[in-house]
Amino acid sequence: MKLKHFLVCATAWLAFGVAAAPASDATIEELFQVTHMESILNGMKAQMERDMQAGVTEMVAQENFTPEQRREIEQYATKLAAKFVALNSEAFSWQKMKQQFIPVYREAYTQEELKGMIAFYRSPLGRSVAEKKPRVAQRLMEIKQRNMVVLMPKWKTALQEALTEGEAPAAKPAAKAAE
């Protein structure tokens, strides 16, 4: 009876232990490679840069500025955007982001799951999905941005109403720490 119990436990341990092998960094990096994660991240950074510039242009167009004021604001905003781009390039570099992504993937997936995803992305269907994923993500982002354009005036109105009706807390100076 003890032998039978031991065999059942050993079989269960092997079945669950092997299937739940922890993901290796090398396998995670291989998945990143076959899914083109670096180029996707670079595309996201480029989109953020375009969005910043478009936001400035839209803001300037909505206000009642003289042509000279618009030119000055756009020049200033372009310089500021260049600083933001430099900060983003450093903060969102592939090397930095990859080091932050790896633990997330390691916690979420087993070695077996990662190998299955790699096999999928190496298949013709998987390559097609990987190639289309950035375009799909871009289109989804455009939908989100269109919705935000509609929503922003509503948020502004709601904030103004809250301030007018006294719902928003009054700003108070911070108390100095006791010395």
pLDDT, tens digit, for every residue of 74-112? Answer: 888 888 878 888 888 888 889 999 999 999 999 999 999
56 in Cβ contact with 74 (< 8 Å): yes
* pTM score of the predicted model: 0.62
Rounded to 5°, angle at Cα 82 from 79 and 84? 115
pLDDT above 50: residue 141: yes
CA distance 48 to 146: 15
Task: List C-alpha distances in Å: 155 to 121, 142, 158.
Answer: 41, 19, 5
Residue among 41, 31, 24 nearest 121 (CA): 31
Q: What is the pLDDT of residue 128?
A: 95
Please give the pLDDT value at position 25.
95
pLDDT of residue 98: 94
Q: Using DSSP, state whether 175 is helix, strand or coil.
A: coil
Rg of the chain (C-alpha set): 26
Q: Lowest mean pLDDT of 14-18, 106-110, 114-118, 119-123, name the range.
A: 14-18
Distance (Å) of CA 153 to CA 11, 150, 157, 167, 179: 62, 7, 6, 19, 45
Question: Is 113:19 a contact under the CB 8 Å cutoff?
Answer: no
Q: How far is it, in rounded angstroms, from Cα 62 to Cα 55?
A: 11
pLDDT beyond 80 at 130: yes
